[in-house]
Amino acid sequence: MRKIVIILAAAMLVMAGCKKKQESESIIGRPSVTVQDGRFTPELMWKLGKMGEYALSPDGSKIAYTTTFYDMAQNKGNAEIYLIPTDGKSEAMRLTNTSQSEFNPVWLNASTLLFARGNDICSIDIDSKAEKVLGTIESGLEGFKVSPDGTQILFISDLPVRRPDDINKLYTGLDQTTGRINEDLMYRHWDNWVDEYPHIFLASLQNGKVDVEKALDVIGNNAFECPMRPWGGVEQFNFSPDGKHIAYTCRKKTGKEYSLSTNSDIYVYTIATGETVNLSEGIMGYDQNPVFSHDGTKLAWESMEHDGYESDKLRLMVYDFATGTKTDYTEAFDYGVSSISWSDDDAQMLAVVMYRGTNEIFAFDVASKAIRQVTKGTHDINGFTLSGNDIYANEVSMQHPSEIFHYTLADTNQAGTQLTNINTEVLSLVRMGRTEPHWIPTSDGKEMLVWLIYPFNYDSTKTYPALLFCEGGPQSMVSQFWSTRWNFEVMSGAGYFVIAPNRRGCPGFGTEWCEEISGDYGGLCMKDYMTATDYFAQNMPQIDAERIGACGASFGAYSIYWLAGHNENHRFKAFLAHNGMFNFEQQCLETEEYWFTNWDLGGPYWEKNAKTAHSYANSPHLFVDRWNTPICVVHSEFDFRIVASQGMAAYNAAKLRGLDARYLYFPDETHWVLRPQNSLLWHRNFIDWFDKYLK
């Protein structure tokens, strides 16, 4: 097994060690906030705290969680650890106070919390707040987990991609060259060049020391990813209850094979022997995020059926170690699951389900396979921790960012009780635009959920402009999400109605509804957008039909480009497209996850079949001759899923057509806009652009 070299900071262990001197940087804390007229603005949005990870203490009495606050002048955020009792009887207490961000809180015992800071694995006594460094991972630390008995630790670190010798020799004496030589696919992924790959390493945790000098590389001497890029983290591996085995997620492919396949598997590694067994062999789609039952006799995970379909239904798969059988607990359930957890007696499994416009917790009875909805509300639950009868959920809505809410295992269709109050005081000063669900008829006689968000200070005697929001994905639900890019309350605060349809392709409304988008980008999903726009223009007299714009990112931006070429009746008066597909032939060869092109478009454009012919015929660049509406294009350089040339081509086409157009380009952003000042520019530009044409 590969070993990873660690430098242990022995002196810092003696001295309470984990704090680093950062004299050049000030500590970012909760900012002072002034709310003017109760209006929610982009500036106010960036003054809110952002809930991160959280961990329930072993006795269930406390929750440790991270909160990030941002400083616009420093153009960065800083996460600190807070502690709150689960009985809700006292306020949160701040545990750390440094200019570095803390992450990955994990309880070692009832009084000791482990966490990561930079490349250090640290501990803190929650009573005295005394800190120690347990180990320093020079190659980088992304996260870790501790075994049930507290004697072992699994951590994520990166290994460098090694160039072949015949290529490496070309670099001799060229220590300042920036050139990259590649001879395979998947040399870049989402927002990074693939210069390294993550592995999980097993080390002992004894006497306040992580002995990572002797850490073993669980994945072995190969370049496979564990966890998988770009989304995977510590949820992709787990210790067995007895600490003798490790279940992990891995797609054991590289290069071209990796770029064409989503076939990952669940492996179980036996620590004593080094033996590895593939439990999901024969299942051809994504298998990920394994969770052992408390008695260790079963393993549950999220499983997709089809290779190459990244948005396939996530099934609840359970492996029985005694019989060697796999059981799909969602076989008769038309919705996908995530964040699986076992009840203490292993009689039930709980999971988050995308369900008809919200994310809710459902319970699955192990013996009878009966399914019960636990939570219900106008919210999204983005994860939870189960302890005995108590459920602690990370919950958001279109009107508030993440907070921790409490539910119980016995609940059915319940709304929870809020425990944390990171932003409660600030948001109490804001008059949010109300949110309504509307089920409207589609062009083919079905029903579609559309969220309608009202403008700030809504007055039923007045008329307002409106924005059609086009969701990305393309298989992504318009749920009760909170975002610092597409924030519906910022749009409301700017004086707009927002029309947000769950058009064809959105999960959470059954498999058929979700699958009706693949190979038909210009079909029912586009009719759904037009239907939703016309429905509210005709049935909501407070929406001015002459002042409607449309916006979206990724597939949503493709939607904008497509709608721009099909806007003969001037339904829309202005467009904004962020990081979208403009030329499908260009996109086919510029992207990096080729399974996406193969599944959703039918394959590369040179494969002549009915699906590809229909798909590529709906490329927006073919309809530029019909463009007749002002358009703002936004794109970022480090978006490798949809590269910047797509946005430049769309903007150039608009200018050559003689249209009023604007191009906002970020040389240092990705598929998202993450830096605070860039985000603020993004929002100011967004509001300015639509105000110019719709007000």
Between 12 and 221, where is the model more confident?
Answer: 221
The Cα 202–Cα 687 span in angstroms is 50
User: Nearest Cα to 529, choosing from 551, 507, 511?
Assistant: 551
Residues with Cβ within 8 Å of residue 224, at least 6 apart in sequence: 197, 250, 251, 252, 253, 254
Residue with tokens 């440790």: 64
Across the range 304-324, mean pLDDT stands at 98
Name beta bridge partners: 249. Answer: 266
Among residues 64, 69, 51, 58, the alpha carbon closest in space to that of 129 is found at 64
Domains and CATH numbers, the chain: 431-694 (3.40.50.1820)
Helix or strand holding residue 326 (H, E)? strand 325-328
Supply the pLDDT for residue 16.
Answer: 37
The per-type count for the chain, helices as H runs and strands as E runs, is 14, 39
For a pLDDT cut of 70, what percent of the chain falls above it? 96
Confidence of residue 411 (pLDDT cuts 50, 70, 90): confident
Element holding 694 (H helix, E strand): helix 676-694
Strands 631-636 and 447-453: unpaired
pLDDT at position 6, please? 31
pLDDT at 415: 86
What is the average per-residue pLDDT within 149-165? Answer: 96
| Contact indicator for 240, 247 with CB cutoff of 8 Å | yes
Is 70 exceeded by the pLDDT of residue 2?
no
Least Cα distance to 408 among 30, 60, 678 occurs for: 60
Does the pLDDT at position 73 exceed 70?
Answer: yes
Would you place residue 17 in the very low, low, confident or very high pLDDT band (cuts 50, 70, 90)?
very low
For residue 9, the model assigns a pLDDT of: 32
CB atoms within 10 A of CB 140: 14
> What single DSSP character describes residue 418?
E
pLDDT for residue 23 is more than 70: no
DSSP lists the bridge partners of residue 55 as: 64
Q: Which amino acid is at 298?
A: K
CA torsion sign, 345 to 348 to 349 to 350?
negative
pLDDT on residue 171: 96
Average pLDDT over residues 434-446: 98
CB contact burial 556-569 (16+ within 10 A = b; e otherwise): bbbbbbbbbbbbee
Residue 8 predicted with pLDDT over 60: no
Q: State the catalytic residue, choosing from 147, 671, 679, 683.
A: 671
**Across all residues in the chain, what is the average pLDDT?**
95
Pairing type for strands 543-553 and 464-470 reads parallel
Cα 32 from Cα 105, distance rounded (Å): 27
Residues 464 and 659: beta-carbon distance below 8 Å: no
Quote the pLDDT of residue 89.
85
Two tokens, residue 517: 């988008």
Check 293, 341, 554, 619 and give the catalytic one: 554
Three-class secondary structure of residue 247 per DSSP: strand
Q: Omega into 227 within 30° of 0, i.e. cis?
A: yes
Q: What is the DSSP letter of 88?
A: S
Burial class of residue 447 (count of CB atoms within 10 Å of its CB; 0-12, 13-18, 19+): exposed
Question: How many residues appear in the chain?
Answer: 695
CB atoms within 10 A of CB 584: 22
Distance CA 692, CA 538 (A): 24
Burial of 46-58, coded b for 16+ CB within 10 Å and e otherwise, reads bbbbbbbbbbbbe
Q: Find where tokens 């029903």 sit.
A: 447
Which one of the listed residues 199, 639, 679, 683 is annotated catalytic? 639
Q: Is 554 annotated in the active site?
A: yes
The whole-number pLDDT of residue 315 equals: 98
Q: Which contiguous run of DSSP H or E holds residue 360?
A: strand 358-365
User: What type of residue is 169?
Assistant: K
- pLDDT, mean of residues 432-444: 97
Q: Quote the pLDDT of residue 18.
A: 44
Alpha-carbon dihedral 509, 510, 511, 512, rounded to 10 degrees: -80
Q: Is 452 within 8 Å of 440 (Cβ atoms)?
A: no
Contact 105, 113 (CB under 8 A): yes
Instruction: Evaluate if residue 316 carries a pLDDT over 70.
Output: yes
Q: What is the pLDDT of residue 217?
A: 98
Q: What is the pLDDT of residue 12?
A: 32
Q: Per residue in 536-583, pLDDT tens?
A: 999 999 999 999 999 999 999 999 999 999 999 999 999 999 999 999
Greatest alpha-carbon span in the chain: 75
The pLDDT of residue 1 is above 80: no
pLDDT above 70: residue 239: yes
One-letter-per-residue 3-state SS of 640-692: CCCCHHHHHHHHHHHHHCCCCEEEEEECCCCCCCCCHHHHHHHHHHHHHHHHH
Mean pLDDT across the stretch 602-607? Answer: 96
E strands, 208-314, are 209-210, 216-217, 237-239, 245-250, 265-270, 276-278, 287-292, 298-303
pTM: 0.94
Q: Residue 150's pLDDT band (boundaries 50, 70, 90)? A: very high
For strands 348-355 and 337-342, give the pairing: antiparallel
> Cβ–Cβ contacts within 10 Å for residue 34, how many?
9
pLDDT at residue 10 is higher than 70: no
Q: Name the residue among 621, 689, 673 with its Cα closest to residue 467.
A: 689
Beta strand 543-553 with 574-578: parallel, antiparallel or unpaired?
parallel
SS3 label, residue 529: helix
